[in-house]
């Protein structure tokens, strides 16, 4: 659903890294499809569970996805989940994943992947640790369904699974989510709107993402997805002033609230194109 989570997905998915513009006119067509921006910090880690760094959290919103997200009223709404039920005694939650979810390597998203991802996240996040105190078991019921059985009611279960900021419970393939929670993952394979091009990653210099053609956002939040929004850009010149549309490379501030960015829509790249028209992001 559109709201806070969707804004973070746009923001996180290009937020606190509040972004940027296209290259100068006359560039090659391929280059003209590249968004370029400077985040508030260097991307040193690609594991948003291992670190709470905002630049890695934002990276996570580009590459990964979550089971639930929070709407504008901070109420959890399904994201990767299609539907769910809760027993009368509030001790059994059953979840069904959406059809057609795929990892960036082409493999289908499975319930076992989600369980492993929740378990790893909960070992590093305080909200997750508190949730797991109430969890008796998590079991996969086939590839698309899983059950969370509680030892005691935990009313904030869905809010925990839709937690907005670091550490965010991002879903990963089981083989990656099985990585020790206190060790960094070896690769970033998600199901989010952008794929990370690890081969072009140069820590301290650049990180590159390409649009995930298989990503299908929920209908309710489609208008808030990165590919469908014109982004506000903050550019600080030598005098410290903020301008929009003045440069092909723009610096962004991490503390800017997503609502502030979305509140100034209509800022396009120098070539006049909005963010949704670009197929590649260089960070």
The pLDDT tens digits of the residues spanning 227-268 come to: 322 222 233 333 433 444 444 554 555 554 433 433 333 333
Mean pLDDT, the chain, whole residue set: 76
Q: 140: domain range?
A: 4-282
CB 141 within 8 A of CB 111: yes
Measure the CA–CA gap between 133 and 128, rounded to whole angstroms: 9
CA atoms within 13 A on the CB side of 43: 27
CATH of the domain at 76: 3.90.76.10
Q: How many Å apart are CA 246 and CA 221, to the nearest integer? A: 30
- 127, 133 in Cβ contact below 8 A? no
SS3 115: helix
Residue 95: is its pLDDT beyond 80?
yes
Whole-angstrom distance, CA of residue 142 vs CA of residue 146:
7
Q: How many domains does the chain have?
A: 1
Residue 69 parent element (H or E): strand 68-70
Give pTM, 2 decimals.
0.75
Q: Which residue has the tokens 């509030």?
A: 90
Q: How far out from the chain centre does Cα 144 lie?
A: 21
pLDDT of residue 174: 98
Residue 233 has a pLDDT of 29
To the nearest 10 degrees (0 to 180), the angle between helices 111-122 and 126-134 is 110
Strand partners, 84: 95
CA distance linking residue 170 with residue 137, whole number of Å: 20
**Is the pLDDT confidence value at 116 over 60?**
yes
Reduce the DSSP state of residue 153 to 3 states and report it: coil
* Band of pLDDT at residue 63, cut at 50, 70 and 90: very high
**pLDDT digit string, tens, across residues 14-59:** 433 333 333 333 444 444 467 777 777 888 999 999 999 998 999 9
pLDDT at 29: 46
Q: How far is CA 26 from CA 37, 235, 273, 277, in A?
A: 19, 22, 14, 17
- In tens, the pLDDT along 139-177 reads 999 999 999 999 999 999 999 999 998 999 999 999 999
Phi first, then psi: give them for residue 273, nearest 5 degrees: -100, 145
Determine the Cα–Cα distance for residues 219 and 205; give it in Å rounded to an integer. Answer: 36
């Amino acid at each position: 659903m559109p709201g806070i989570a969707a804004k973070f997905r746009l923001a996180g998915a290009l937020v606190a890294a509040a972004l940027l513009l296209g290259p100068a006119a006359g560039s090659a067509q391929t280059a003209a499809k590249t968004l370029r921006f400077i985040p508030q910090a260097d991307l040193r880690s690609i594991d948003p569970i291992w670190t709470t760094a905002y630049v890695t959290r934002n990276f996570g919103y580009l590459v990964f996805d979550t089971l639930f997200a929070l709407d504008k009223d901070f109420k959890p709404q399904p994201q990767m989940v299609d539907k769910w039920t809760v027993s009368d005694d509030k001790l059994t939650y059953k979840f069904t994943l959406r059809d057609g979810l795929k990892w960036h390597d082409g493999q289908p998203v499975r319930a076992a992947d989600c369980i492993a991802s929740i378990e790893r996240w909960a070992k590093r996040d305080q909200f997750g640790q508190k949730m797991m105190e109430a969890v008796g078991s998590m079991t996969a019921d086939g590839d698309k369904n899983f059950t969370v059985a509680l030892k005691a009611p935990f009313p904030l279960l869905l809010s925990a699974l839709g937690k907005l900021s670091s550490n965010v419970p991002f879903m990963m393939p089981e083989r990656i989510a099985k990585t020790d929670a206190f060790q960094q993952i070896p690769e970033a394979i998600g199901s989010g709107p952008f794929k990370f091009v690890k081969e072009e990653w140069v820590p301290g210099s650049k990180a590159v993402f390409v649009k995930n053609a298989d990503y299908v956002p929920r209908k309710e939040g489609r208008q808030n997805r990165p590919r469908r929004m014109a982004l506000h850009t903050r550019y600080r010149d030598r005098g410290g002033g903020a301008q929009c549309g003045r440069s092909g490379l723009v610096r962004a501030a991490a503390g800017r609230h997503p609502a502030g960015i979305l509140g100034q829509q209509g800022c396009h790249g120098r070539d006049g194109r909005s963010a949704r028209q670009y197929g590649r992001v260089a960070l």
